[in-house]
Amino acid sequence: MEKCDVAIIGGGIAGLSAGKFLAERGVSFILLEEHREFFKKACGEGIIRNTVGYEFHDLYGSKRGIEREIWETIIHTKYGELSIEMPVLMTSKREVEAELARQAAAQGEIRMGERVEKIVDGVLLPQEIKPKIIIGADGCFSLVRRYMGERPVRCGIAAEGYATEVDMDPDRCHVVLKNEVVRYGYAWYFPKREVWNIGIGCSKKRTFRETFSRFREKNKGEGWRGAPVPIDKPGRSYRKNAILVGDAAAHVVANVGEGIMPSMIGAYIAAEVIERLARKDFREVDLSPYERGWKNTFGKYLRRTYYTSRIFYDVIKSEYVRHKLLAKMCRDTTEYYRKILKR
C-alpha cells in the first residue's frame, strides 16, 4: 500500500490550484486525474478577474493562457440591452490548466489517466493509496462527497463550442437572457483572441436538449461539448479526513455559472489549513478551519448568488420584471467595480 500526506482527486482548476498552492508551501501530494489530458469540462473560459478581494493574477502567478481582458458585458433581454462593467479575462483554459500543473509539479506528483473508483476506510481504490488528507476536486458527481456522506450537488447543464462568425461587438462579452432562446438559463457569446466561445447554460435538464438543438441550428459552431454545472448553495465541505473544493463543494457563482475564481480561492484557503497541519506532521487532523475560512471569505456571497439565481430563473416569470431587476443589478455591479478598481 502506498502512503502519502495529501491526495487530490481531480485535475481541473480546483484540484490543480490546490496542488499549486500546496507546492508553494512545501507540502507534498499526489494528484489523480481520470483523463489523460486537461480541459475536459465544457466552460465559457471567462474569468471574473476580481472576486471578493482576490485578484486572479495574484493567485495564478502567470500570463500563460490569458488571451485578452474585456471590461464590458452586454446583456440582451426581450426589452433591450443592458451594460455591466466588470473585468473579465478571456483565456485558453487548456493552457491555464497546463500552467497550473507545471507549477504544482514542483512539489507534487500528477498522475493522468488515473480514475479513483471508490474510497474504503480512507484508501483510494484501485490505486491502493492511503493519504492522511483527501482533497475532493472531482466535480458535480464527486466520489469524495459520497465518501463524506454528503448529498449530491444540484446541477444544471451547459454546452459550449467555438465560432468564427458572430454578428456582435467583438470587444464586449455578450449574454442573452430571453425565454425564446433559453428558458431557465442564458446563452453566451464570449470573444477570445481568434474565435468566439459560445454556448448555453440551463438549470432544467429536461428542457436542455431541445434548447441546445435550437441554439446549435442558429449558431455555426464546432467542437460542441456539454457538462454538468453546479447550481447549488454550498454546504458542509469537510468530514472524516476529507475536504471538498470547486464544483464538488458547490463553490460557484450560481447566477452566472462562474466557478474558476471560487475554486481557486477555496483551494488557496485549503492549502493554508493543510500547511498548518503539515507543520505538526498531521498528528491532529482538524479540517474545520477550512470551512470557517471559505465561509468567512465568500460564503455569504455564494449563497446570495444562489438565491438570486433561484428567484431570477424559477420564481419570476415576467421577462419585463427580470429586465428591470437586472438593470439595477448591472448598475450596482458597475458601481462596485468602478469603485474598487478606481475606474
For residue range 18-63, what is the model confidence (pLDDT) as tens digits?
999 999 999 999 999 999 988 777 789 999 999 999 999 999 999 9
The model's pTM is: 0.95
Calculated CA dihedral for residues 109, 112, 117, 123, nearest 10 degrees: -10
Is the preceding peptide bond at 131 cis, omega within 30 degrees of 0?
Answer: no
> How far from 284 is each of 133, 148, 195, 288, CA to CA, in Å?
11, 19, 50, 12
Asked if residue 66 has pLDDT above 80, the reply is yes
**What's the CA gap between 325 and 41, in Å, rounded?**
31
The answer to whether 120 and 87 are in contact (CB under 8 A) is no
Q: What is the pLDDT of residues 282-319, one digit of tens each?
A: 998 999 999 999 999 999 999 999 999 889 888 899 99
Q: What is the pLDDT of residues 240-275, one digit of tens each?
A: 899 999 999 999 998 888 899 999 999 999 999 999
Q: Of 130, 53, 49, 37, nearest to 91 (Cα)?
A: 49
3-class DSSP assignment, residue 28: coil
**What's the CA gap between 19 and 23, in Å, rounded?**
6
Asked if residue 343 has pLDDT above 80, the reply is no
Domains of the chain and CATH, by start: 2-340 (3.50.50.60)
Asked if residue 135 has pLDDT above 90, the reply is yes
Asked if residue 15 has pLDDT above 90, the reply is yes
User: What was the pLDDT predicted at 342?
Assistant: 78
User: What was the pLDDT predicted at 39?
Assistant: 75
